[in-house]
A and B are shown apart, each in its own frame.
Chain A
Amino acid sequence: MSEYQAREFKVLGQRLKRPDGFDKVTGRARYGADVEAAGMLHGRILRSPHAHARIVSIDTSAAEALNGVKAVITRADFPQAAKGYEDIQDNCMAGERALYDGHAVAAVAATSKRIAKQALKLIKVEYEVLPHVTGVEQAIAPGAPIVQPGKVSKRVPEGFSDNVVRYTSFGHGDVEAGFAKADAVIEREYRTEASHQGYIEPHACLATLDEDGRGDLWVCTQGHYFIRDMSCAVLGLESANLRVTASEIGGGFGGKTTVFVEPVALALAKKSGHAVKLVMTREEVLRATGPTVSTYMQVKLGLNKDGIITAAYARLFYQAGAYKQGTADFGAMPAFAPYELENVHTEGLDVITNRPRTASYRAPGAPTACYAAESAIDEACLELGLDPLEVRLKNAAKEGTKSSYGPTYQDHGLIQCLEAVKDTEHWNAPLAANQGRGLAAGFWFNFGGETSVSVFLNTDGSVTVTEANPDIGGSRASISMMVAEEFGINYEQVRTTVTDTGSMGQNEPTHGSRVTFAVGMAAIKASREIKADIQQRLAKMWDVSADQVIWQDGKAHCTDNSKGIEPMSLPEIGAIANNTGGPIGAHHGANMEGAGVAFGVHICDTEVDPETGFVSVKRYTAIQDAGKMIQPDYVEGQLQGGAVQGIGWALNEEYVYGDDGRLQNPGFLDYRIPVASDMPMIDTVIVEVPNPGHPFGVRGVGETPIVPPLAAVGNAVSRATNVRLRHLPMSPPRVLAAIQSA
């Protein structure tokens, strides 16, 4: 069942300007914190200074008495959460216990930011401090402080503390038999520290909610339907009564797919009877939102002399923060996904600790697992004296390969990406002293999901597309381009807008690399429905059958030449819409399954200063299969941005916890994301192997680019220093220590 049809494209592939661009370069675009309401109050949240503590009592009376304070709330102001949303509620506002440094315990709404800040100081919280654990290896050891008792799933193996709450495994064949056949077996351990999505726009919202549970919410989010549904589940509201509007969004990368401040702002609005604006500080963002897992990973790999992987095994411990999550699944599945393996076995174990509840970050779970797997492959190549590219090519998964996580692959472009490596000037360029070159592959599933889109033909022939997925990186332009392509008209004649939850049916958030694929496909299908409707109308007008009306070059043509009918353009058709049956439009709501997997391969050159351990990235190339590029700039931009995020994770970014369990570096000065002077240009090579599940062959591209960099940088640094580094980030002290101990 292939959706894809090969064709010539007129609009796709052009570097066109985005419709929201003008507002964004002039400062007019309105982001989460850029709106106000009459009589608006300012909300602020009080957060636990303890990593783990029982909340004995909270006295809000002094804060309430402060002039200008209109409401103070605690967990007591929240109803019982709907089933399945208990953890989300607890993370927004702590119940009996504060589970991490930065966990919300109370909130105020006041007439000014200053008063709100002052009021927080007047809230008296009595804590009984409890033992805490923040490190993954400490947390899994028997005898560790237990973060949340009673959460252990049935299949977790014996021998761990009750912080190991979930277990999954994947694979096929017999790994022991595979290791027996190997010429070299390497067994290694790798560790990675938690990173944060690091979007530059802090979470922000503006809420109103009346006594009857009717409200409005303006919020920066990747998915306003998720925000609506979660807020309703946490506050006991009905979805239809809460209208959520997504602002322009200043980055998300997965971190803005869930609620943090939104239910708090709504609860404050309800209690105070005023609109409440709540904007997080950067410190709050780092202490209480995001971050990713930290990991402890064991890998065992067997290769024969020819470079064939005879067996692959990985056991991944994923530290997921204070609540049970399933991220280890998404490490265990993609770890060896790029390879065709006879014997493979991966195990994922989710571990809870006294850290913030982790949120998705671009291909959540995959970068760390692929770091371990791709590093181990590199180590095996060095041991056997094999070429890392040849080994990957020899073992590469193809169409029809049974993947390491079960399903058999449909068509994809991994081999083409690997072949493209050979052709780059980069791969063949010489290296200078203290430099090393690393190669790594990566994979992400991609995703479709529930999608609603409406398309209208206006009376002047222009086309309006209404969708409801926040546009983070130019999706309005891409969707307009696909609709223009489908109608055979110019991009400028189509305008796509993102609407609110009160105006459009359900949509998954902008995540999972889904928007260009899924929203694009829904828009194409709605456009096709419009074309079919027009065919019916013109058939009546021309007195022919509908199949005698065809579309060509943006016009409806009559195939019965004997009639001498002139083709009609969209403006001509739009002008007579009311005479031929009324307004022309179509809505397409569907579950857009069929996203194609996306593979990428990255090459990285690093130079390591042997005196200081400082690593600089000298050259970087990201190669990926995009299926079919809509707007090449945006595809390149996803590859470049994802690669640099991965480089930051590999070299610098790290959550540092003190012995007291408190986050030591909750600011951009100490949680250091890459800056312009750290980076070289990021070269890109885009391979196009059409996705059979999309009419134009589109694959999602957003997530895969963050998967290969961790290992690509790791392999480059290890080859530059001749010392294998197995702990990310490779910050100067760690690199120096490794060089000195070698």
Chain B
Amino acid sequence: MSSTHVSTKINGQAVEYVCPNDASLLEVLRDQLGMTGTKEGCGSGDCGACSVTVDGRLVCSCLVLGVEAQGRAVETIEGMANKNQLHKLQEKFLEKAALQCGICTPGVLIAARSLLEKNPDPTEQEVRYWIAGNLCRCTGYDKIVRAILESAKELREEAA
């Protein structure tokens, strides 16, 4: 398998890597760049644990090739907090116990942020459908949905 040199931006920082042409972005992030915050639950696009954004679009990084990041901007969970200042969603997830084991959490947080960027005032149903691609086996989703709705509300209030 031949490899390709890729120049991209990850969490706002310029990054270069050489990856096999068939390597997924998930593989590159985890195995080559040591960014293990993005998780692998299935490798087939069914669980959402690997969620990242590419040029602002929410994707399963297991279904994107590493070479596709060329010239784009990738955002992962590692870039969500500003140093030790947690994003509102991260804070709410802690406060509302929206995680148990936490393996789905990075993916859910990335997905939720992407939702709130597009729709700052989602209904419960909109939240549930938006994160329907993010499997969580521990929580039954109740506290996750509540945390997202409450984050949205507080973010709106802060913006007002």
A and B touching (Cβ–Cβ under 8 A): yes
Which chain B residue lies CB-closest to A26?
B81
By the criterion CB–CB under 8 Å, are A282 and B135 in contact? no
Which chain B residue lies CB-closest to A670?
B46
Closest-CB distance, A509 to chain B (whole angstroms): 15
Contacts of A200 in B (CB 8 A): 39, 41, 47, 49, 101, 103-104, 135-137
Which chain A residue lies CB-closest to B77?
A27
Which chain A residue lies CB-closest to B91?
A25
By the criterion CB–CB under 8 Å, are A282 and B44 in contact? yes
**Residues 20-45 of B at the A interface (beta carbon under 8 Å):** 20, 30-31, 34-44
Closest-CB distance, A158 to chain B (whole angstroms): 42
A170 at the interface (CB under 8 A from B): no
Interface string of B124-155 (1 = CB under 8 A from A): 11011101111111111111111000000000
Closest-CB distance, A249 to chain B (whole angstroms): 6
Contacts A633-B97, A676-B134 known; A25 to B109 CB distance under 8 Å?
yes
Interface of A is mostly: loop
B106 at the interface (CB under 8 A from A): yes
- The distance in angstroms between the C-alpha atoms of A171 and B94, with both chains bound, is 47
Interface string of A657-693 (1 = CB under 8 A from B): 0000000000111000111111101100000000000
Contacts of A26 in B (CB 8 A): 37, 77-78, 80-81, 86, 90
By the criterion CB–CB under 8 Å, are B141 and A202 in contact? no
By the criterion CB–CB under 8 Å, are A676 and B38 in contact? no
Contacts of A25 in B (CB 8 A): 81, 86, 90, 93-94, 99, 102, 105-106, 109
Tell me which of A29-37, A138-146, A426-434 binds B: A29-37
Contacts of B159 in A (CB 8 A): none
Interface string of A190-202 (1 = CB under 8 A from B): 0000000111111
Contact of A17 among B44, B80, B95, B103 (CB under 8 A): B95
Interface of B is mostly: loop
- The distance in angstroms between the C-alpha atoms of A472 and B140, with both chains bound, is 15
Contacts of B78 in A (CB 8 A): 26-27
Contact of A676 among B37, B95, B141 (CB under 8 A): B141
By the criterion CB–CB under 8 Å, are A27 and B132 in contact? no
Contacts of A282 in B (CB 8 A): 41-44, 46-47
Pick the most buried of B103, B124, B127: most chain A CB atoms within 10 A of its CB: B103
Contact of B20 among A24, A114, A252, A281 (CB under 8 A): A114
Which chain B residue lies CB-closest to A645?
B137
- The distance in angstroms between the C-alpha atoms of A674 and B142, with both chains bound, is 12
A474 at the interface (CB under 8 A from B): yes
Contact of B46 among A33, A634, A669 (CB under 8 A): A669
Which chain A residue lies CB-closest to B41?
A200
A574 at the interface (CB under 8 A from B): no
Contacts of A197 in B (CB 8 A): 137
- The distance in angstroms between the C-alpha atoms of A682 and B39, with both chains bound, is 27
A729 at the interface (CB under 8 A from B): no
By the criterion CB–CB under 8 Å, are B140 and A682 in contact? yes
B96 at the interface (CB under 8 A from A): yes
B119 at the interface (CB under 8 A from A): no
Contact of B99 among A21, A199, A636, A676 (CB under 8 A): A21
Contacts of A673 in B (CB 8 A): 135, 137
Closest-CB distance, B72 to chain A (whole angstroms): 20
By the criterion CB–CB under 8 Å, are A31 and B37 in contact? no
B8 at the interface (CB under 8 A from A): no
**Residues 604-656 of A at the B interface (beta carbon under 8 Å):** 631, 633-634, 636-637, 640-645
Contact of A637 among B43, B86, B134, B139 (CB under 8 A): B139
Closest-CB distance, A712 to chain B (whole angstroms): 14
A10 at the interface (CB under 8 A from B): no
Closest-CB distance, B127 to chain A (whole angstroms): 7
Contacts of A472 in B (CB 8 A): 100-101, 138
By the criterion CB–CB under 8 Å, are B39 and A677 in contact? no
A18 at the interface (CB under 8 A from B): yes
Contacts of A21 in B (CB 8 A): 93-94, 99, 102
By the criterion CB–CB under 8 Å, are B39 and A201 in contact? yes
- The distance in angstroms between the C-alpha atoms of A250 and B39, with both chains bound, is 10
Contacts A249-B101, A282-B42, A682-B140 known; A114 to B86 CB distance under 8 Å?
no
**Could you tell me which B residues sit within 8 Å of A by CB distance?**
1, 20, 30-31, 34-44, 46-47, 49, 76-78, 80-81, 86, 90, 93-97, 99-106, 109, 124-125, 127-129, 131-146
List 17 A–B pairs whose Cβ atoms lie within 8 Å, in order of A's numbering.
A20-B102, A25-B90, A26-B86, A27-B77, A28-B37, A33-B30, A33-B36, A200-B136, A202-B41, A248-B101, A282-B47, A633-B97, A644-B139, A668-B44, A668-B47, A675-B141, A681-B142
**Could you tell me which A residues sit within 8 Å of B by CB distance?**
15, 17-18, 20-22, 24-31, 33-34, 36, 113-114, 197-202, 248-253, 281-282, 472-474, 631, 633-634, 636-637, 640-645, 667-669, 673-679, 681-682
20 additional contacts, CB 8 Å, given A25-B81, A252-B101, A676-B132?
A21-B93, A22-B86, A25-B102, A26-B77, A31-B39, A198-B137, A199-B137, A201-B39, A250-B39, A250-B41, A282-B41, A633-B143, A641-B137, A667-B42, A674-B141, A676-B127, A676-B128, A677-B129, A679-B128, A681-B124
